[in-house]
Amino acid sequence: MTEKRSHLRFGLERTFEAPARALERGTEVFGRAETIFVDKRPFRLAEEYWETLGPGLTTGAADDDPSGIATYSQAGAQYGFQLIWLSLFLFPFMAIVQEMCARIGVVSGRGLAANIRAHYSHRVLYVVAGLLFFANVLNIAADLGAMAAATRLLLPEVGLSLLVVLFAAFSLGLQIFTTYARYARYLKYLAGALFSYVVVAFAVHLNWSDVLLHTVVPSLTFSRDQLFLLCAILGTSISPYLFFWQTSQEVEEGILHGETTVAARRRAIDPGVVRRMRTDVWSGMLFSNVITFFIFAACAGTLYVHGITHIGTADQAAAALKPFGRLAYLLFAIGIVGTGFLAVPVLAGSSAYAFAESFGWRYGLYRKLKQAYAFYGTIIISMLLGIVANFFHLNPIRGLIYAAVANGIIAPIILFFVLRISGSRRIMGRYANGRVLSALGWFTVGAMALSGIAVILTF
Residue finishing a domain among 52, 71, 90: 52
- Output the pLDDT for position 50: 57
- Indicate if the pLDDT at residue 85 is higher than 70: yes
- Indicate if the pLDDT at residue 77 is higher than 90: yes
- Indicate if the pLDDT at residue 140 is higher than 50: yes
Same domain, 114 and 32: no
Same domain, 431 and 450: yes
> What average pLDDT does the segment 76-81 reach?
94
- Indicate if the pLDDT at residue 25 is higher than 60: no
- Output the pLDDT for position 2: 40
Same domain, 166 and 255: yes
pLDDT, tens only, 392-433:
877 878 888 889 999 999 999 999 999 999 999 999 999 999
- Output the pLDDT for position 365: 79
Same domain, 153 and 203: yes
Same domain, 45 and 19: yes
Q: What CA–CA distance (Å, rounded) separates 433 from 197? A: 36
- Output the pLDDT for position 11: 39
- Output the pLDDT for position 73: 93
- Output the pLDDT for position 183: 66
Same domain, 95 and 39: no
Same domain, 22 and 108: no
> What average pLDDT does the segment 252-269 reach?
72
- The band of 90, judged by pLDDT with boundaries at 50, 70 and 90, is very high
Sign for the pseudo-dihedral over CA of 21, 23, 28, 31: positive
pLDDT, tens only, 192-212:
778 889 999 998 888 999 999
Alpha helices in 80-222 (DSSP H): 85-108, 112-119, 122-152, 160-177, 180-191, 196-203, 208-216
Same domain, 362 and 227: yes
DSSP 53-118: -SHHHHHHHHHT-HHHHHHHHHHHHHHTTTTTHHHHHHHHHHHHHHHHHHHHHHHHSS-HHHHHHH
- Of 162, 151, 76, 149, the closest CA to residue 314 belongs to 149
Same domain, 423 and 375: yes
pLDDT, tens only, 32-68:
334 444 455 666 666 565 555 666 677 777 778 888 8
Q: What domain range includes position 20?
A: 1-52
- Output the pLDDT for position 129: 92
Same domain, 287 and 222: yes
- Output the pLDDT for position 65: 85
Percent of the chain at pLDDT exceeding 90: 45
Q: Is 288 helix (H, G, I), strand (E, B) or coil?
A: helix
Strand partners, 37: 28
Q: What CA–CA distance (Å, rounded) separates 419 from 421? A: 6
Give the up-direction half-sphere exposure of residue 106: CA atoms within 13 A in the CB hemisphere: 26
pLDDT, tens only, 316-365:
899 999 888 888 899 899 889 988 888 898 899 999 999 999 998 988 87
The total of other beta-carbon atoms located within 10 Å of residue 326's CB is 6
Domain with residue 116: its CATH number is: 1.20.1740.10
- The band of 174, judged by pLDDT with boundaries at 50, 70 and 90, is confident
- Of 214, 217, 278, 219, the closest CA to residue 246 belongs to 278
7 or 442, which is more confident?
442
Same domain, 349 and 443: yes
User: Based on the structure, what is the number of domains in the chain?
Assistant: 2
Q: What CA–CA distance (Å, rounded) separates 106 from 268? A: 9
- Output the pLDDT for position 48: 62
> Mean pLDDT for the chain?
83
Cβ–Cβ < 8 Å for 115, 424: no
1 or 167, which is more confident?
167
- Output the pLDDT for position 392: 85
Q: What CA–CA distance (Å, rounded) separates 245 from 134? A: 16
pLDDT, tens only, 351-401:
999 999 999 898 887 788 888 999 999 999 999 999 999 988 778 788 888
Same domain, 123 and 244: yes
- Output the pLDDT for position 5: 39
